[in-house]
Amino acid sequence: MNGIRIGILGAGRGTALARAAQRASNATVVAFCDQDQGRLAQAAAAIEGAATYTDYEDLLAADLDAILVASPMPLHAEHSIAALQAGKHVISEVTAATTMDQCWALLEAVNASGLRYMLAENYCYTRPFLILKGMVDAGLFGEVYYGEADQIQEFKGGFPPPDTGYNWRTAELALRLGHQYITHNLGPLYQAAGDRVVTVACQGSGQHFLDWAKADDTCVVLCQTESGKLLRIRLDFFSDRPMNYQYLGLQGTGACYEAPRGPKDEHKVYVHGQTPRGEWQSLFDFDKYLPARWPAGLTDDGIDAGAHLMIEDFARSILDDTRPPIDVVDALNMTAPGLLSEVSRERGGEPVEVPAFYQR
C-alpha cells in the first residue's frame, strides 16, 4: 500500500485538515461525514471526488483505512473508540478526551484494537517549534528544566449563555474550572521536556466578564514532571486584551527561548557559548535544525503550516507498522493534566496526582 485512505468526521475543522492532507505524500481524503448538509457540501467541494455521509456508521462501514475525528471536543473519545472498534486507525483532533473515564476507555480501546491512534496536536508541527525541538534534540539546550506557555485568546463571543441551549464550547470551556483545552500548551512542552507530568496545581483569578460563567478569567496551571521539571501554563479566554495564543518559553542549562509576546516581538533564543552574553538572537538563525522534510521556502509560522507533516507521520506509522509520534499514551499525558487541573482548582490549588498510562 502506497498511501492510506482517510475519512473525516466533522466538516468544519475537518475541511482545513483535509486541505493539509492534500499536501501529504502518503494519505488521501476520500470521504466526509457531517450532519450539517451545507457544511458537508462545502467540504466535498474542497476535495474533488470525496464521498459524503450524514451517518457516522455509514462512514465507518466505508472502504477506509483511517478516520480523522474532527467532531466537537466532548465526542472525540466516543468517536475514536467507535472507529477503533470498527477496525479503523484514528487520528483525533484535540483534546483526546474531556473526562478521566474517557481517557481510560480510550486507552483500553486502543490496546484492544492493536490499531494506530494519534493525537492531531498541530502546535507540535509549527515551524518555530520544529526548529526548537531540533535544537533540544541536538543538545543545545542541555538539560531542559523549565517551560511555559500561554493560551490568551479573547473568546467571550464564542460562548453563548447556557440558557440559550447547549453549546459544547460553553459547557466545556466556560462552565468548567481549570484548563480543559491544555494540549496546545502542554503538547510542545511535553515533547521538549521529554517527561510526563505527575502533579498539577491550579489557581484562578475568578470571573469578571460573564456573570454566568464558572471558569476563571485567568487560571494558571503549575505542572511538575516525573524528573522534577517545572512547567507553567496560563489560560485566559475572557480578558479584554490583545490575543497571544502561541506563546511558548523554554529554559535549559545551555539555552533559552521565548516566543513573541506581541506583533513587534520575534522568536528569540540565547545559546550559551554562541550568543553574546546578555543578548538574544533570532530563532531562525538556527533553521538548520528544521527537519529536512519541511518544504523548502515555506516560511509560514501559522498553527497549520506543518499539518501535512503531522498527517504524513500518522500515515507512515500505519504503513510501516510503527509507533505514531503522538500515540495514545502521549495524547493522554497531554490531556489528563488539564482535566485534573479542574480538581486542583476546586480544592483551592491543592496539588493533584496525574496517573500513568501504559500501552500494551
Do 59 and 174 sit in the same domain of this protein?
Answer: no
What's the rounded mean pLDDT across residues 196-216? 98
Do 115 and 129 sit in the same domain of this protein?
Answer: no
pLDDT of residue 346: 98
Do 108 and 167 sit in the same domain of this protein?
Answer: no
pLDDT of residue 1: 60
**Do the beta carbons of residue 102 and residue 75 sit within 8 Å?**
no
Q: How far apart are CA 155 and CA 6, in angstroms?
A: 32
pLDDT in tens, 114-128: 999 999 999 999 999
Do 253 and 205 sit in the same domain of this protein?
Answer: yes
Q: Give 53's pLDDT tier (boundaries 50, 70, 90).
A: very high
Q: How far apart are CA 107 and CA 77, in angstroms?
A: 10
Tell me, yes or no, whether 325 lies in a domain.
Answer: no
CATH of the domain at 58: 3.40.50.720
Look up the domain containing 172 and give its range: 124-300+333-353
Q: How far apart are CA 128 and CA 311, in angstroms?
A: 18
Tell me, yes or no, whether 327 lies in a domain.
Answer: no
pLDDT in tens, 125-147: 999 999 999 999 999 999 999 99
* Angle at alpha carbon of residue 154, lines to 96 and 188, rounded to 5°: 40
Do 131 and 229 sit in the same domain of this protein?
Answer: yes
Global pTM reads 0.97
With a cut of 80, say whether residue 354 has pLDDT above it. yes
Do 109 and 234 sit in the same domain of this protein?
Answer: no
Tell me, yes or no, whether 309 lies in a domain.
Answer: no
Contacts of 294 (CB under 8 A, 6+ apart): 127, 130, 306, 309
Do 110 and 164 sit in the same domain of this protein?
Answer: no
Do 134 and 279 sit in the same domain of this protein?
Answer: yes
Peptide bond before residue 95 is cis, with ω within 30 degrees of 0 = yes
Do 129 and 256 sit in the same domain of this protein?
Answer: yes
Number of domains in the chain: 2
**Do the beta carbons of residue 324 and residue 118 sit within 8 Å?**
yes
Tell me, yes or no, whether 306 lies in a domain.
Answer: no
Do 232 and 258 sit in the same domain of this protein?
Answer: yes
Do 86 and 204 sit in the same domain of this protein?
Answer: no
Do 102 and 189 sit in the same domain of this protein?
Answer: no
Tell me, yes or no, whether 254 lies in a domain.
Answer: yes
